[in-house]
Structure 1
Amino acid sequence: MDDQGYFHSFPAVQGFQGKRPFFIAMCPLRMIPKLFMFDEEEVPAELRAQRSLNKNRIPAIAQYLVANPETYILSALTASVDGQVRFAPLDAGRNLSIGVLEIPMDARILINDGQHRRAAIEEALKESPALGQDNVPVLFFGDDGLLRSQQMFADLNKYAVRPSYSLSTLYDHRDPSSELARYLASECRAFRGLTEMEKSTISNRSVKLFTLSSIKHASRALLRKHPRDEFSSTDRMVAKEYWDEVSDQIPDWQRARTKDVATAELRQEYVHAHGVALQALAYAGAELLSRRPKQWKTDLRYLRKIDWSRSNIGIWEGRAMVHGRISKAATNVHLAANYVKSVLGLPLSPEDLELEALLPAKKRLTSKR
């Protein structure tokens, strides 16, 4: 910062997009809250150049920065400068793209993309001031007015696609439940070779039967863990043993593993080939492990009594299916779990019975086998 020149100075690289110059600069985190503005006034969306700030997102990002001071990653912020910037190349004779960007101190700098990261940085610095020495890349564009800023926001977000939950699970090495899911997918005979690792939905032609994300959700429910809870070696062993035992009681899963039946056929004909069944088996399994820690393996043999056919509408319609279509809604998952619990001879909780009341009287379950 140059007080005499009344401007902020940043080492930067100059480039061009659409015949307009832009600059990539390194900015210390400690300067982010003071330097970059975000228009948070309560004005109509058509008069803003950004979405409204969702304050619920900020604590998670801030905690991520604080908890991972040596390994965090922050993508570049994008900002518009309402003022005349100057760019001084370091070597005017040979290299015109590397130099120093000078921004007047009275210029208005508005974030076009990254307002949640900006707010999270501000919160993280309160708890961990040492982060202020780090840097974040910033793309600076000239501010050509509201319409241009709105178009920038639209262009920046038009083609942004969030990775699938399975792919995020595959690549997330900080999340204990993601680590557990990867372990089960590779070591558990129920899932080995049958897990879709990248997509969170399975196409009709896929030879896979489960998604990595469904294994993650189901196994966390089985062990009654919250997001980011740690898993002990015992937890891992119990989860693997449970899913292996379940696989032994569902012959179609074994046939899929040996390729004696097409997984597409199983998805078309059976409930057990869908995530709703995996989740239901997890909820029922959590209760079974809690109530019968010494005999749960023996009791799982009752799963062979279940007719998993989608044509068995007397059982599955209203539970795992709605109007003949598989439903992953939370209510349907729990209603399907209620049926599995009843087959295993487990009592239904008051909450379970409240859900049963949503079904026609002839379909409701009691608490006895």
Structure 2
Amino acid sequence: MKSTAPEESEDLDTAVYSFPAIRGMQAGREYYSAMVQLKLIPTIFRFNESEVPPQIRSQRVLNQARIPEIANYIVNNPRDYVFSSISASISDGRVKFIPIDSKNHASKLGKLVIPMEAKVLINDGQHRRAAIEVALDDRPELGNETISVVFFIDAGLKRSQQMFSDLNRHAVRPTKSISILYDSRETFAQSVREMSNILLIFKDLTELEKTSISNRSRKMFTLSTIYQATAALLGKKTKVKKITHEEEKLAHEYWNEVAKNIPEWQLLIRGDVASSSLRSDFIHAHGIALHALGVAGHDLIQEYPDSWKEQLKELHSVDWSRSNSEIWEGRAMVNGRILKNQMNLALTTNYLKQKLKIPLKPDEAKIEKRFMKQYPGSVQ
């Protein structure tokens, strides 16, 4: 049974949509899980709430920036995209469920009939709906594919608002690390995973699931930090990242060379010191340092394409000790606590670039000048 275009219904005396559906019961209310063709999604969910005040809406306003990303995901992966169900409320009491077995009115399998004039409001999935509409402009052949829609009979605005709250309250986005771990589509993510299993500074020392590391953990860096740092090293800023064999080789060489020039990392590799001990005492045992080394490394290789390995020996002159507040306070630390925001990352990178004899760019020089005014006792 396929979802259908509008048809006439004698019972409802109006044009209707009809969908194959399963009837269920939740919190004492009937709901219906239906298979809806993608080409019908923009038509059915046609009501725009963006002009309605928040207190009388049942949904948040669309974040337009998210739509192209989701649409491109469908368009670029027509054979293996996947979408979870859309949840919606129908504000029309004339909705009918017709059991497939006319002799068994309690049957859970059947056809859901919705008046075409009914108002259907999305409780969860408005960005998917908008992205589907955009994707169909590029790939109209996807219109006959289906997405599951869970239809609830609307019990008023208050109930719809509560449904939105309940559906999103317990939704937890996966961590960046675990998204990278499970991503089989992005070749860059695959390369970073492989690197974390091969390079001695990362092998068995990478937190694969979380984006932070507990004080007692034996892990050194998170997978997401290695990903960010390597992306910075290779100058990759787009969301969909690919990697060439030459780039992969360069990343391996760079991180191996960095590890050779940080003595405490060598101790860690040999098992002579614990990661937790390094985190307590050194800046280089935190994600901000790895990310800054990636950013600085990109400019290092451009500035010294034939001798960057030799330049990395200057890392021996860096005092990475957290106790050296003259260097790190205001850069990687605030009141003795490690922070990693964009400004801290930029200031930490600036310091490393100066130690590696890499000229600061004009915007970096401005940041450095402001910092030295704020922290006149700091060491450059």
Matched-pair contact (CA < 8 Å) for 1:196–1:212: yes
Structure 2 Cα separation of the partners of residues 261 and 38 of structure 1 = 61
Which one-letter code corresponds to 2:234 in the other structure?
L
Change beyond 3 A, Cα 1:263–1:307: same
What residue in structure 2 maps to residue 154 of structure 1?
A: 165
Which one-letter code corresponds to 1:28 in the other structure?
Q
1:24-79 Cα distance to aligned partner (Å, 9 max, x none): 11000000000113432422211110001111111111111111111111111001
Which one-letter code corresponds to 1:264 in the other structure?
S
Structure 1 Cα separation of the partners of residues 295 and 117 of structure 2 = 59
Does residue 257 in structure 1 map to residue 248 in structure 2?
no
What residue in structure 1 maps to residue 347 of structure 2?
A: 335
Change beyond 3 A, Cα 1:129–1:144: same
Structure 2 Cα separation of the partners of residues 305 and 41 of structure 1 = 57
Does residue 272 in structure 1 map to residue 297 in structure 2?
no
Does residue 238 in structure 1 map to residue 238 in structure 2?
no
More deviation, 226-235/201-210: 226-235
Matched-pair contact (CA < 8 Å) for 2:178–2:208: yes
Deviation at 1:254, TM superposition (A): 2.5
Does residue 289 in structure 1 map to residue 308 in structure 2?
no
Does residue 199 in structure 1 map to residue 210 in structure 2?
yes
Specify which of 15, 21, 32 is matched with residue 23 of structure 1: 32
Give secondary structure in 2 for the equivalent of 1:192. Answer: coil
Task: Count the aligned residue pairs.
Answer: 366
1:274-301 Cα distance to aligned partner (Å, 9 max, x none): 1110011111111111121221112211
Question: What aligned pairs does 1:1-369 form with structure 2 within 5 A after superposition?
Answer: 1=4, 3-5=7-9, 6-83=15-92, 84-91=94-101, 92-93=103-104, 96-227=107-238, 228-361=240-373, 362=376
Structure 2 Cα separation of the partners of residues 79 and 316 of structure 1 = 52
Structure 2 Cα separation of the partners of residues 340 and 255 of structure 1 = 22
Matched-pair contact (CA < 8 Å) for 1:76–1:137: yes
Change beyond 3 A, Cα 1:243–1:38: farther
RMSD between aligned residues: 1.7
Structure 1 Cα separation of the partners of residues 358 and 320 of structure 2 = 19
Change beyond 3 A, Cα 1:229–1:165: closer
Structure 1 Cα separation of the partners of residues 216 and 54 of structure 2 = 43
Paired-residue identity, %: 47
1:226-278 Cα distance to aligned partner (Å, 9 max, x none): 22242110100000110011111112222223332221221121100111100
Deviation at 1:7, TM superposition (A): 1.9
Which one-letter code corresponds to 1:34 in the other structure?
T
Matched-pair contact (CA < 8 Å) for 1:303–1:343: yes
Structure 2 Cα separation of the partners of residues 119 and 349 of structure 1 = 41
Provide TM-score, normalisation by structure 2.
0.92
Give secondary structure in 2 for the equivalent of 1:190. Answer: coil
Deviation at 1:210, TM superposition (A): 0.3
Residue ranges of structure 2 left out of the alignment (5+ in a row)? 10-14
Deviation at 1:90, TM superposition (A): 1.7
Structure 1 Cα separation of the partners of residues 80 and 323 of structure 2 = 51
Structure 1 Cα separation of the partners of residues 160 and 48 of structure 2 = 12
Which one-letter code corresponds to 1:287 in the other structure?
D
More deviation, 192-201/173-182: 173-182
Which one-letter code corresponds to 2:26 in the other structure?
Q
Structure 2 Cα separation of the partners of residues 19 and 50 of structure 1 = 23
Deviation at 1:139, TM superposition (A): 0.2
Deviation at 1:94, TM superposition (A): 9.5
Residue ranges of structure 1 left out of the alignment (5+ in a row)? none
Structure 1 Cα separation of the partners of residues 136 and 170 of structure 2 = 31
Which one-letter code corresponds to 2:7 in the other structure?
D
Which one-letter code corresponds to 2:78 in the other structure?
P
Which one-letter code corresponds to 2:301 in the other structure?
L
Give secondary structure in 2 for the equivalent of 1:360. Answer: helix
Matched-pair contact (CA < 8 Å) for 2:49–2:61: yes
Structure 2 Cα separation of the partners of residues 194 and 349 of structure 1 = 34
Give secondary structure in 2 for the equivalent of 1:161. Answer: coil
